[in-house]
Every structure is written in C-alpha cells, then in structure tokens.
C-alpha cells in the first residue's frame, strides 16, 4: 500500500485500486484551484500507473464535494501561500488544468467509481457525472445550483446531465438549482447504488475489487466503447468498437482467460 498526502487531496493505492479523496472537510470538500490541480495530477498518475486497474473517488468527513469554494472566490481563502503560488504557475502553463481536474476535457482510461456521502453539489456533481459507477449514501443529495448564484455549470454538467438522466429531469435540476435526494437519483439513473450512510466507500471498493479481477485490456476497451459511442447509430457504433474488440482478442490475456476457465483456476492477466 502506498500513500501520497497533499493537504487538499489524498491519493492512496492499495494493489490495483487507487483511491482519490477530496480532503477539505472543514469546507465540505469545496474545490479550489489548488485542489483541481491536485486532482488533475491524481488522474494522470492513475492513468499512467500500470498496476492501477480501477479508481475510486470520494470525500473526507462525510461529504463528497460541495462545488467550488465560493468563500475562496470572494477572497476568504484558507490555502497556504506556497500552494497558491505553485497553482498559479501550473495554471499559467496549462489554462485547461481546472477542467482536467473535473474530468471535463480528459478522462482516465480506467473505470472510476464514486462513493458519495453527504452531498455532490455544483462542481461536485459535475465531477460525479464524469465517473462510471456511482454509490450514494441514502441521505446524500445532488444538485447543480449555479444558476442560483448567477453562475454557469461549466464543468461539463449542462452537456452530460441530459445524456444520463431524462431531459426533463435534467432541465428541472439545471434551471431551478434544486437538490435531488438519493432515492430520486437512483430512480432516474444518476446513481446505481444506494447504501446506508457511512458505507459508500466500502461498497465502492467492493465493486472496484470485482472489476480489478477482470481482464484490464477488456475492461478498458469496453469502457472506451461505452464512452465514445453514445449518440452514434448502431451501425456506426459497431464500426467504432471493431478495432477495440479485435485488439482484445489478439492479446495474450484473451488466451489466458479461457485457459484459466478450462483449468478451473483464477486468471492471471498481464495487460498484454
């Protein structure tokens, strides 16, 4: 098990699962430019580390993420000066860094499982919309409330939400700024699992553990098809997925899987 601690984001790898924890519980894990920078770096690490097969994202202190830190935006920042200076340098070199942190303009090739306690609001909900599998506490709440403050949800929410829930539900949430309960989120398909409060990370890690046992090349190819074929016609989607499927079938892992099945033993996948 390895661990890297930054004040605002915690990154911990345990075998094939890498867990990213938003770590500003005093401000309900509200996002700063520094935390977005650290998130962007964490996604890159997860993508580039060959031993990582699944990513879990969660929040410390019983809250997932309450969105951007409006207090900090108004001048009430609790960040260290050295963090702000480093963030300024990184954003000057890469103005797109905030969107990378929110997974708007880039996403890791590995599945991302979200564990949501408390609330996922505004930027927190937009980060959630970029994940693949979502576990929520039964008392969790969700919302894109930017219009209430005359702001725009520019982290991907306006585009992604109506692609993941019915249009009228998306319009209701986006235009009123209201919050959605966990049972409603489950009914509309925003989340896939609802569990008792305090148990989301356990469930998310359980799901991640199952995924991590599967063939990583196959998992990543399926994930690419899921993400890239939305909106395509069936024939276009079949053509798009063809090279991904063929590459999987040509792999050594595709030989190991059936052999392990025939020999009644766990498969040992090598990502090749």
Positions marked catalytic: 126, 146
Q: For residue 88, give the nearest of 193, 43, 79, 197 by alpha carbon.
A: 79
Element (H or E) spanning 113, and its range?
strand 112-116
What is the rounded distance in angstroms from the CA atom of residue 239 to the CA atom of residue 260? 30
Contact 248, 224 (CB under 8 A): no
Strand pairing category for 119-121 and 112-116: unpaired
At 31, list the tokens.
């996002």
At 63, list the tokens.
């809250």
What is the rounded distance in angstroms from the CA atom of residue 86 to the CA atom of residue 107? 23
List of residues 6+ apart from 262 with CB closer than 8 A? none
């Amino acid at each position: 098990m390895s661990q890297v601690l930054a004040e605002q984001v915690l990154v911990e790898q345990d075998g094939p699962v890498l867990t990213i924890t938003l770590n500003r519980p005093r401000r309900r894990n509200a996002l700063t430019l520094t935390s977005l920078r650290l998130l962007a770096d964490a996604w890159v690490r997860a993508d580039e580390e060959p031993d990582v097969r699944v990513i879990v994202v969660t929040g410390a202190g019983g809250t997932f993420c309450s969105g951007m830190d409006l207090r900090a935006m108004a001048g009430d920042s609790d960040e260290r000066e050295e963090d702000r200076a480093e963030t300024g340098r990184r954003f000057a070199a890469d103005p797109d860094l905030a969107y990378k942190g929110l997974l708007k303009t880039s996403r890791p090739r590995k599945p991302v499982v979200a564990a949501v306690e408390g609330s996922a609001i505004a930027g927190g909900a937009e980060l959630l919309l970029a994940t693949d599998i979502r576990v929520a506490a039964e008392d969790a709440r969700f919302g894109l409330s930017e219009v209430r403050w005359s702001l725009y949800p520019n982290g991907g929410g306006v585009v992604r939400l109506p692609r993941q829930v019915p249009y009228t539900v998306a319009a209701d949430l986006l235009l009123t700024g209201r919050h959605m309960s966990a049972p409603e989120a489950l009914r509309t398909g925003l989340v896939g699992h609802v569990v008792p409060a305090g148990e989301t990370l356990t469930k998310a890690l359980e799901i991640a553990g199952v995924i991590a046992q599967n063939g990583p090349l196959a998992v990543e190819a399926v994930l690419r098809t899921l993400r890239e074929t939305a909106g395509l016609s069936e024939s276009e989607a079949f053509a798009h997925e063809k090279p991904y499927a063929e590459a999987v079938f040509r792999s050594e892992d595709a030989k190991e899987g059936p052999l392990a099945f025939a020999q009644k033993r766990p498969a040992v996948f090598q990502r090749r």
